[in-house]
């Protein structure tokens, strides 16, 4: 098992990609803190995944944009399991508007969840990783960390920002054995994307089928969605890589939508 007894914090793990990463880590023997906005869904997911084994999970209530909530959640995990080995900063939302129509409050909300969330969870976990001279921090980027699409100014800005943050962290963390990397998925069918399809159809004045075929998948090599399992496999690679050679990187998993 690649993550036996490793303590992993995955944010936004009650749903979608975060849940899939938690599931993959538990298959590899990890102890996973399922952190999400509300305790009940986090606990439900943790119970389901714990029952699966061989690893184990616990639910944690954590709004990643709230410093006190993040610090409290991380302290609870450390108290229960003695440290943090892996952080997956995954919690995220999508809000689509043209720039001229983007409500400032919604711009700030999106940046707070993606960027403040990455900063606050990293800041809270680092002392525990530095104490052990080891750790892996993984940020959930997107193809939108490298590409742009209309209507997604806040999201594209946030995801580009994560690349810079991960690069600084990889330089600061190196002497303490802490690695930082970014996963950049293409479109994955999760509640976040299901919500976007009708919103984009309305905003662009096209059908929902056209959003999927012409907006979401037109640039891929095979017109396929990336899957949660695809993303979880990359998250396992970054978490379990055996040396500091793999740091400061961003890996695109998108059916060839973006190639570099």
Q: Which of residues 96-135 bind ligand NAD (CB under 6 A)?
A: 113
**CB closer to ligand NAD, 191 vs 242:** 191
Interface with ligand NAD, residue 14, by CB under 6 A:
yes
Min dist CB 171 to ligand NAD, Å, is 23
Min dist CB 252 to ligand NAD, Å, is 10
Tokens of 150: 């209309």
Active-site annotation holds for 155: yes
Cβ(84)–Cβ(134) below 8 Å: no
97: three-class secondary structure by DSSP = strand
DSSP 111-139: HIIIIIHHHHHHHHHHHHHHHHT-EEEEE
Q: Which of residues 198-217 bind ligand NAD (CB under 6 A)?
A: none
**Binding test (CB under 6 A) with ligand NAD, winner from 22, 49, 86, 91:** 91
Interface with ligand NAD, residue 185, by CB under 6 A:
yes
Cβ(120)–Cβ(67) below 8 Å: yes
**Binding test (CB under 6 A) with ligand NAD, winner from 58, 86, 90, 96:** 90
Cβ(29)–Cβ(54) below 8 Å: yes
Cα torsion at 131, 133, 136, 139 (round to 10°)?
Answer: 60
Binding residues (CB under 6 A) for ligand NAD: these are 11-12, 14-18, 36-37, 62-65, 90-93, 113, 140, 142, 185, 187-188, 190-193
Q: So which residues are the catalytic ones?
A: 155
């Amino acid at each position: 098992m690649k993550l036996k007894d490793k303590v992993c914090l995955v944010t936004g793990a009650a749903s979608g990609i975060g849940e899939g990463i938690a599931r993959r880590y538990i298959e590899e023997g990890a102890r996973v803190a399922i952190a999400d906005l509300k305790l009940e869904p986090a606990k439900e997911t943790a119970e389901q995944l714990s029952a699966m084994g061989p690893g184990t999970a616990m639910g944690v209530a954590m709004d990643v944009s709230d410093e006190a909530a993040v610090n409290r959640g991380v302290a609870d995990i450390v108290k229960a399991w003695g440290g943090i080995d892996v952080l997956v900063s995954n919690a995220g939302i999508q809000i689509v508007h043209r720039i001229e129509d983007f409500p400032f409050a919604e711009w700030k909300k999106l940046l707070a969840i993606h960027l403040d969330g990455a900063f606050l969870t990293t800041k809270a976990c680092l002392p525990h990783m530095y104490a052990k001279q080891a750790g892996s921090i993984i940020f959930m980027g997107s193809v939108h960390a490298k590409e742009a699409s209309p209507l997604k100014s806040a999201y594209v800005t946030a995801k580009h920002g994560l690349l810079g943050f991960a690069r600084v962290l990889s330089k600061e963390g190196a002497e303490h054995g802490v690695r930082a990397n970014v996963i950049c998925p293409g479109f994955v069918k999760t509640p976040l994307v299901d919500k976007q399809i009708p919103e984009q159809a309305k905003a662009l004045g096209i059908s929902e089928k056209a959003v999927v075929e012409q907006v979401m998948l037109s640039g891929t090599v095979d017109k396929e969605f990336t899957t949660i399992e695809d993303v979880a496999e990359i998250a396992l690679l970054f978490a379990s890589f055996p040396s500091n050679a793999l740091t400061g990187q961003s890996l695109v998993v998108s059916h060839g939508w973006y190639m570099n």
